[in-house]
Copies of this chain bind each other. A is one copy, B any other.
Amino acid sequence: MARAGTLIESVMSDIESKIASRAYLPNTRLPSVRAQAKAMNVSISTVVEAYDRLVAEGRIVSRPGAGFYTSGPIAPLNLNQIGPKVAREIDPLWVSRESLEARAGALMPGCGWLPSEWLYQTGIKRALRSLARTDSPDLTEYASPKGSQTFRHFLQRRLLNQTIDVTPDQIMLTESGTHAIDLIGRFLLSPGDTVLVDDPCYFNFHALLKAHRVQIVGVPYTPNGPDLEQFAHALETHNPRLYLTNSGIHNPTGAQLTPSVAHKLLTLAKASELVIVEDDIFADLESTRSPRLAAFDGLDQVIEIGSFSKTVSASVRCGYIAARLEWIEQLVDLKIATSFSGNRLDSEIVLQTLTDSGYRKHMDKLQTWLAKQRRQTTEKLTRLGIQPWIQPKDGMFLWCQLPDGVNATQLARDCLTQDVVLAPGNVFSQSQNAHDFLRFNVAQCTEPKIFEVLAWALKQQI
């Protein structure tokens, strides 16, 4: 769909992309030639020619005396046509599909989850057996609108431990963390709104926000949280509606927010009536507590979401939203309208696993193992000239810079031929300035073959 070449073609391509992304809705009037020329900083005659050619191609229609209109009905929503075209190795949707598609024998040092054997399978199995022995409505009946009350009480205590003050009524269960963010997006966002994300951030945030047809603006992330100056600048320049971040252990950098950054960030957010969605998906991997924006804010402008896909199971789906009561009530309506009922069986399995006496012990063991893996992986990568940006205190991620002149996308392409799936930096970066970064998952880096293939691939470029 992208057109190379002349200015006219670039104007046409811009308009086509706005039609594809529904920034221009079907059967609606396009900006006048004069307004378009000004907005795109091109001459009026360029726009006239571009409009004429689009009319000839049937993409838009001219209504005499009334201007130019998009034609209708629209094409189906195609996420791949929204935004600039990028190499598939850094296309969030391609990367997701590639890593979700089981490839026999492939090694996945770039993927975002723990190997199965490091999850608490014993607890899950125990929960399954225990449910199989009952005639519980958990086996067959719809969930209540907000989800299991016992679970919401459990989450209340859990959030209180992070000094987030909340009542069970302010909590709604969802199918996953992504589902939680998606519902909040449908609740708060309109196409064309601006959303701030960290640069780099969890790559599926980009795909998710594309589906909401909003503008995404990245704020550079520092080892202590987002860069506050840039954050303030983004607030002023873009008047964003939402800031989507992930506290606790930050994905992909492994950084943790400091209290001072958290406080200043919230002060800025307050002044701009910015809503913050804080994704706390890695909470149980933290050995040293870092601050949560929701704790400072008291769930006023901050919405806390989380899930257990990284610590209990990715196949058993369960997440939650904690927010202002009046928002939760409306989110419940949206959840019913769009999925009717939540997953009652899964939330019960997750609850039983989390409250199983062995869970905490398992997490302690897991943290120790991850610490060891972080050390060993750092050593192995350093030997290859690959340098961690910081040494994270917790979690599974190492955000690493490649030797001078090595391009991460090309490296990922080469390693893929050897069945090693990497996560190149730009898949996480809105500004595309992480071309020499890779995210490593230390829990998936136990196979020596990974480092052999990396060494070979590095040689191709140096």
Cβ–Cβ < 8 Å partners of A79 in chain B: 330, 333-334, 337
* Identical copies of this chain, number: 2
Cβ–Cβ < 8 Å partners of A193 in chain B: 73
Cβ–Cβ < 8 Å partners of A152 in chain B: none
B211 near A327 (CB under 8 angstroms)? no
B78 near A341 (CB under 8 angstroms)? no
Confirm or deny: A439 has a beta carbon within 8 angstroms of a beta carbon on chain B: no
Q: Which of B100, B179, B210 contacts A143, CB < 8 Å?
A: B100
Residue of A76, A119, A131, A186 with highest tally of chain B CB at under 10 A? A76
Cβ–Cβ < 8 Å partners of A327 in chain B: 76
Q: A132-B128, A346-B345 are in contact. Are A141 and B314 (CB under 8 A)?
A: yes
A368 to B192, CA, bound (A): 55
Cβ–Cβ < 8 Å partners of A77 in chain B: 186-188, 330, 334
A97 near B315 (CB under 8 angstroms)? no
Confirm or deny: A129 has a beta carbon within 8 angstroms of a beta carbon on chain B: yes
Cβ–Cβ < 8 Å partners of A334 in chain B: 77, 79, 211
Cβ–Cβ < 8 Å partners of A309 in chain B: 142, 341
Cβ–Cβ < 8 Å partners of A141 in chain B: 113, 116, 314-315
User: A207: nearest residue on chain B (CB-CB)?
Assistant: B337
A332 to B137, CA, bound (A): 32
A112 CB, nearest partner CB in chain B, Å: 10
Confirm or deny: A340 has a beta carbon within 8 angstroms of a beta carbon on chain B: yes
Confirm or deny: A313 has a beta carbon within 8 angstroms of a beta carbon on chain B: yes
Cβ–Cβ < 8 Å partners of A313 in chain B: 139-140, 345
A100 to B208, CA, bound (A): 29
B343 near A241 (CB under 8 angstroms)? no
Q: Which of B126, B139, B144, B182 contacts A339, CB < 8 Å?
A: B182
Q: Which of B96, B126, B128 contacts A340, CB < 8 Å?
A: B96
Confirm or deny: A270 has a beta carbon within 8 angstroms of a beta carbon on chain B: no
User: A194: nearest residue on chain B (CB-CB)?
Assistant: B73
User: A242: nearest residue on chain B (CB-CB)?
Assistant: B73
B315 near A344 (CB under 8 angstroms)? yes
A187 near B330 (CB under 8 angstroms)? no
Q: Give A135-162 as 1s and 0s: 1 = Cβ < 8 Å from B's Cβ atoms.
A: 1011111111100000000000000000
Confirm or deny: A26 has a beta carbon within 8 angstroms of a beta carbon on chain B: yes
Chosen A-B contacts, 9 in total, with CB atoms closer than 8 Å, are A93-B333, A97-B332, A119-B140, A129-B129, A140-B315, A142-B315, A178-B340, A182-B338, A346-B346
The 5 closest A-B pairs by CB, nearest first: A315-B344, A128-B132, A207-B337, A178-B340, A142-B314
